Amino acid sequence: MTDLGVLTFHNNENRGAILQAYGVCRLLSEVFDANAEVVEYRTKSKENSRKRSLVANKKPWTIPDQIRDRRIVEKFFKTQLPTSENSTVTDNHRAAVDWLRERNYDGLVTGSDEIWKINEKKRTGIQGLVSPTRPFPNLYFLDDALSGVKFSYAASANKTDLDTLSTDTVETFRRHLNAYDYISVRDRHTKELIKKLDVGNVTQVPDPTLMIEIPTQSVRSVLREHGVDLDEPILNFHGPVNPIFERICNKYRERGYQIVTTRTSPYADIEMRGVVDPFEYYSLYEHFDMVVTNSLHSSIFSIRHGTPFATIDTSPIYKHIESKTYSLLHDFDMLYRHIDAVDGDVSEFFEKRDALETKPDETNIQNRIDELQKRGYEFLDRVSESL
């Protein structure tokens, strides 16, 4: 049987990231009748920052929730996510390549997630300690010294701007991509970026959470236990600290909505960090009456449950780069649910609120998912010829 090693961002508490890793492994296992597992590779800089974040927490009273959250995802890793027995933690790319070569995988897969995001600006001070940038290059870009069939599935370079990178970095990026046998990406920005690098054919495919059926769980009792009244309207908020989101949450609270977040937020009435595992998190979207988010996977899970939602971009980088969420909603013909608030103006949201609170057309959603899945399977069929 074929052995596939998957390199992706999985070692965190982000439920969307965990479910995309789960989705990649399950998808590849089914399509190729293979043993697909997440390679337990971690960069030292990011692994240290994950540990420091607990100590450097500005809200020490939330540490117990953090610990519970970590235990929940670690249990999920052990029971639901196939991972390699051997692991390595290093910022040394050559050492990482040598370690991976010894694993003797028949094929290596990178993706999905923002594995090709490059930021040359080194973070300094406290930010540099708590959240340093990953070294470049790293194994998420693979290497020409690695053997076996090499391909990406739904990789993303969201926020990467070639015009801001040095010539050496761009050439290194190009050299690593040339080591791939097949390249597929998740969003239109990454597709155009790869074309600019002129490294061969590139295919846009859907996120793995759109390629598989994610198991659902009953979560009604969990919601009730944490103070959510299922007979009253619920707004799920998933976004950063930003006056735009504060204003939106306040307006919904005035209308009688309960503001629920699965993370922590000063704008929420009920926080559910350290409560649900990834499958339960996905299942929560069935019970939300409205979702306001800046997250790709939060948008996907709303779409899959037919839940009304609005996706709001606020990052300045999106002034001149198309966002991954814009690309997603373009694919689903749902750009009316995308709100550009990069300039701090969220009036568009309130102007379109009635339409945003309407349930999406589930027939259209299923038709779009079928079309996207066909594109994903066609790409994997080409890879199978080499495997």
Beta-carbon contacts of residue 261 (< 8 Å; ≥ 6 apart) = 236, 237, 238, 267, 268, 270, 271, 272, 273
Given a cut of 90, whether residue 51 has pLDDT beyond it is: no
- How many other C-beta atoms lie within 10 A of the C-beta of residue 266? 11
Which pLDDT tens digit goes with each residue over 290-314?
Answer: 999 999 999 999 999 999 999 999 9
Mean pLDDT, to the nearest integer, of 314-339? 97
Beta-carbon contacts of residue 116 (< 8 Å; ≥ 6 apart) = 140, 141, 155, 156, 157, 160, 173, 190
Given a cut of 70, whether residue 114 has pLDDT beyond it is: yes
Given a cut of 90, whether residue 387 has pLDDT beyond it is: no
Mean pLDDT, to the nearest integer, of 76-90? 97
Average of per-residue pLDDT values in the chain: 94
Residue 126 — very low, low, confident or very high, per pLDDT cuts 50/70/90? very low
pTM, two decimals, is 0.95
Classify burial at 381, counting beta carbons within 10 Å of its beta carbon; exposed 0-12, middle 13-18, buried 19 or more.
exposed
Residue with tokens 């066909």, as numbered in its chain? 374
Percent of the chain with pLDDT over 90: 89
| Partner residues linked to 259 by β-bridges | 235
- How many other C-beta atoms lie within 10 A of the C-beta of residue 252? 21
Beta-carbon contacts of residue 333 (< 8 Å; ≥ 6 apart) = 364, 368
Which pLDDT tens digit goes with each residue over 328-359?
Answer: 999 999 999 999 999 999 999 999 999 999 99
Given a cut of 70, whether residue 130 has pLDDT beyond it is: no
Which pLDDT tens digit goes with each residue over 219-263?
Answer: 999 999 999 999 999 999 999 999 999 999 999 999 999 999 999
| Rounded Cα gap, residues 46 and 30, in angstroms | 31
Domains 3-212+370-386 and 220-305+309-358 share a fold: yes
Beta-carbon contacts of residue 213 (< 8 Å; ≥ 6 apart) = none
What's at 300, amino acid-wise? I
DSSP for residue 359: P
CATH hierarchy code of domain 220-305+309-358: 3.40.50.2000
| Rounded Cα gap, residues 336 and 361, in angstroms | 13
Give 3-state DSSP helix, strand, coil % of the chain, rounded to 5. Answer: 45, 15, 40
| Rounded Cα gap, residues 217 and 214, in angstroms | 10
Question: Which of 32-36, 50-54, 310-314, 330-334 shows the lowest mean pLDDT across its residues?
Answer: 50-54
What is residue 131's predicted lDDT score, i.e. its pLDDT? 53
Q: How do the domains of the chain map onto residue ranges?
A: 3-212+370-386, 220-305+309-358
Q: Which CATH architecture has domain 3-212+370-386?
A: 3-Layer(aba) Sandwich (3.40)
